[in-house]
Structure 1
Amino acid sequence: MQSDLYAVADFCLIPMGTGESSVAEYIAECQRVLEKLGVSYKMHGYGTNLEGPWSEVSKAIHDCHAAVHAKGAQRIATDIRIGTRTDREITPGTGNEGKLKRVEDILAAERK
């Protein structure tokens, strides 16, 4: 078994108690952190898909928390879903795309 599992994750970081109706500035700070780390990520409307070795994924979420706290958020709640698999190799950076493509292929076949 490999020493560091490849993880496909989705997380939604929620700054709390900021006194602002929008948290976009805090989320932008998290995205800056992910870009600097060089991990594979894609932001969506209610979170961010992230993938890579488990240790890098968890460090990235940690670093986002630290950066958002440094920006002034006193509290943060984060929902995290992480999937791993050992039955086949996942090409780095394609875990989330592969999941979507499989569902799209099924739906396309039904339409024929």
Structure 2
Amino acid sequence: MGLPTPSVGPQIAECQRVLEKSGLEYKVRGYGTNVEGPWDKVMKVIGECHEAVHRMGTPRIATDIRIGTRTDKSIVAGGNNGKVKRVEEILSSDK
């Protein structure tokens, strides 16, 4: 990232601020952030995160993106949470 420190915590916090304002569902993890929503809005907020972090003085940013879309069914709000819940239900049946 071209910064004097290896920590990116302040930059991640700034992206979280941008995500919060976007109204999209998101979940910050230790090695990434899940963002859910319509294609155009998700792409827009990713760009806004880059802009915000550049304004902090970060000269170079790299973003890795994994995108999943579906046409076979509608995804309700909390789509990723539903996936996690389903796996937790399967695991709880093991007990």
Select 1:71's aligned residue among 30, 53, 56. 56
In the alignment, what sits opposite 2:15?
A: 30
Select 2:73's aligned residue among 88, 91, 94. 88
TM score, norm. by length of structure 1 = 0.79
| Rounded Cα–Cα distance in structure 2 between residues aligned with 1:101 and 1:84 | 20
For residue 35 of structure 1, give the secondary structure of its aligned residue in structure 2. Answer: helix
Matches within 5 A, 1:2-41: 16-41=1-26
In the alignment, what sits opposite 1:105?
A: 89
Greater share of residues in helix: 2
- List gaps (5 residues or longer) in structure 2: none
Shift of 1:76: 0.6
Structure 1 runs (4+) deviating above 2 angstroms are: none
Greater share of residues in strand: 1
- List gaps (5 residues or longer) in structure 1: 1-15
| Rounded Cα–Cα distance in structure 1 between residues aligned with 2:79 and 2:66 | 14
Letter in 2 for 1:22: S
Matches within 5 A, 1:28-67: 28-67=13-52
| Rounded Cα–Cα distance in structure 2 between residues aligned with 1:77 and 1:100 | 28
Letter in 1 for 2:24: V
Shift of 1:21: 2.2
Letter in 1 for 2:59: Q
Identity fraction in percent: 63
For residue 76 of structure 2, give the secondary structure of its aligned residue in structure 1. Answer: coil
**1:7-28 deviation digits (Å, cap 9, x = unpaired):** xxxxxxxxx1111121111111
Structure with higher RCO (Cα < 8 A, 6+ apart): 1
